[in-house]
Amino acid sequence: MTEEQHTAGNIDVQTNPSVNRRKFLSVTAGTTAAVGLGGCLSSGGAEQLSVTGYPGPYADTLEDEIAPMFEEETGAELIVNRVAAEHISEIQSAPEDDPPYDAAAVTGLSYKIGRNEDLWMNLRDDNIPNQEHIYDYLIDYRPTEVGLPVTGGLWNMVYRSDLDWEPESWNDLMSEEAENVALRSDFWNFPIHVAAVASQEASLAEELQDESMHSAVFDVFEQIDQTAWIGQPADMWQFFENDVIDIGMSNTEQSLADDRVLEGDFSQVVPSETAGYLDMFVVVRGTDKRDLAEEYINFVLSQEVQETWAEGAPNLYANSNVQYPGGLQDTIPTTEEQFQGVAFPDWNTPLFEFRTELAETFNSEIADV
């Protein structure tokens, strides 16, 4: 099956921005009600489903709050494996009939690579009716024949509340007021997208699609008073504690629920134009628990589960019915206009072909990692 098609039942549907999985669901709604997920449950909760979660509040909430909900509903035990953002190599190296996980959350680049290498199983629409509630903008952003957007996040800035000024945009990091800044270096794609947004040479990080404009993106790093690189989230707080930095690159999950921000010692801002990421949930090739894995994806797309997740991990959630807690409702995009202000990496563009060159330049010349 090509990237432009996905199959539900015995009917092939062309995938494009106007004809997608959701529209097909309206055709198969009658069938959906009649088709169960037979064979995926076991008595006494003996069956286990191995899934992935990113370390921190994301995996904590998945394991502590959502896993018990899943077990209560299905009788199956959810095994949460805490993995780094880019864990596709582990899946690539595993035997085709013995994957390390049954279902996984993967970033856009891993999703693209996995699609190219047939690492993900086709999703069967009738097993995932909750996809009907995903924001149109997100469902149309990437091909969804083998994965669906479930969670995501936005890059933001954390800064000392006693600064004489308040940064509002990524471009502000190049101003004279911005001193002692730390950007992320754990994965080259994160800071490069932020730098592209800051450069303002093209519309919302489109500089990365044009090789002739890459130098303008890398010039941004030279104009920032960068005193440290954040290799892992905990580094940022250590740098603050040691008076190494005044401003740090973070994301909504790792800062909005942090006591140091909530208590007012530090402030945060999500610029109106920022970079972000979408986590695609997939069923891993070779699993013998395909039905249960699809039930899991449907489960985590439900409004109740996503609202529970948002309480513990203040991220972006794909279900358009989600009511975010507290001030998060004003921070996370919930309209198409707001989503258009977020530079989600689009790997179905020339960016995918430029990835090796961009990574090598960033790692060797910018961050020296």
Residue 295 lies in a domain: yes
Per-residue pLDDT 10s for the chain (369 aa) are 333 333 333 323 333 333 344 433 443 433 333 333 333 444 454 699 999 999 989 999 999 999 999 999 999 999 999 998 668 999 999 999 999 999 999 999 999 999 999 999 999 999 999 999 999 999 999 999 999 999 999 999 999 999 999 999 999 999 999 999 999 998 999 999 999 999 999 989 999 999 999 999 999 999 999 999 999 888 999 999 999 999 999 999 989 988 999 899 999 999 999 999 999 999 999 999 999 999 999 999 999 999 999 999 999 999 999 999 988 888 999 998 999 999 999 999 999 999 999 999 999 999 986
Contact predicate 312/330, CB 8 Å: no
Same domain, 31 and 132: yes
Same domain, 29 and 168: no
Residue 6 lies in a domain: no
Contact predicate 245/182, CB 8 Å: yes
Residue 89 lies in a domain: yes
Is the whole-model pTM more than 0.95? no
Same domain, 289 and 159: no
| Residue 157 β-bridge partners | 249, 269
What CATH number has the domain bearing residue 249? 3.40.190.10
Same domain, 143 and 237: no
What per-residue confidence (pLDDT) applies to 27?
Answer: 37
Cα distance between the two ends of the chain: 39
What per-residue confidence (pLDDT) applies to 326?
Answer: 83
Distance of alpha carbon 239 from alpha carbon 99, whole angstroms: 38
Same domain, 170 and 300: no
What per-residue confidence (pLDDT) applies to 85?
Answer: 65
Distance of alpha carbon 25 from alpha carbon 14, whole angstroms: 13
Same domain, 94 and 239: no
Q: Count how many domains the chain has.
A: 2
* 3-state SS, residue 48: strand
Nearest to 212 by CA among 202, 222, 203: 202
Residue 2 lies in a domain: no
Supply the range of the domain harboring residue 317: 12-152+277-342
DSSP 220-287: HHHTS-EEEEESSHHHHHHHHHTT--SEEEEEHHHHHT-HHHHTTSEEEE--SSEEEEEEEEEEBTT-
Q: Which stretch of DSSP H or E encloses residue 30?
A: helix 21-34
Token match 């003996």: residue? 46
Same domain, 101 and 206: no
How far lies 298's CA from each of 74, 132, 149, 272, in Å? 12, 10, 11, 31
Residue 264 lies in a domain: yes
Same domain, 240 and 297: no
Between CA 313 and CA 56, with CA 180 as vertex, the angle to 5 degrees is 20
What per-residue confidence (pLDDT) applies to 84?
Answer: 80
How many residues does the structure list for the chain? 369
What per-residue confidence (pLDDT) applies to 257?
Answer: 82
Same domain, 164 and 113: no
Residue 87 lies in a domain: yes
Nearest to 318 by CA among 337, 296, 339: 339
Distance of alpha carbon 246 from alpha carbon 293, whole angstroms: 43
What per-residue confidence (pLDDT) applies to 216?
Answer: 96
Q: Which stretch of DSSP H or E encloses residue 221?
A: helix 214-222
Q: Which stretch of DSSP H or E encloses residue 342?
A: strand 342-343
Residue 4 lies in a domain: no
Residues 6+ apart with CB under 8 A from 33: none
Same domain, 264 and 146: no
Same domain, 85 and 206: no
The secondary structure of the chain in percent helix, strand, coil, rounded to multiples of 5, reads: 45, 20, 35
Residue 5 lies in a domain: no
Same domain, 113 and 161: no
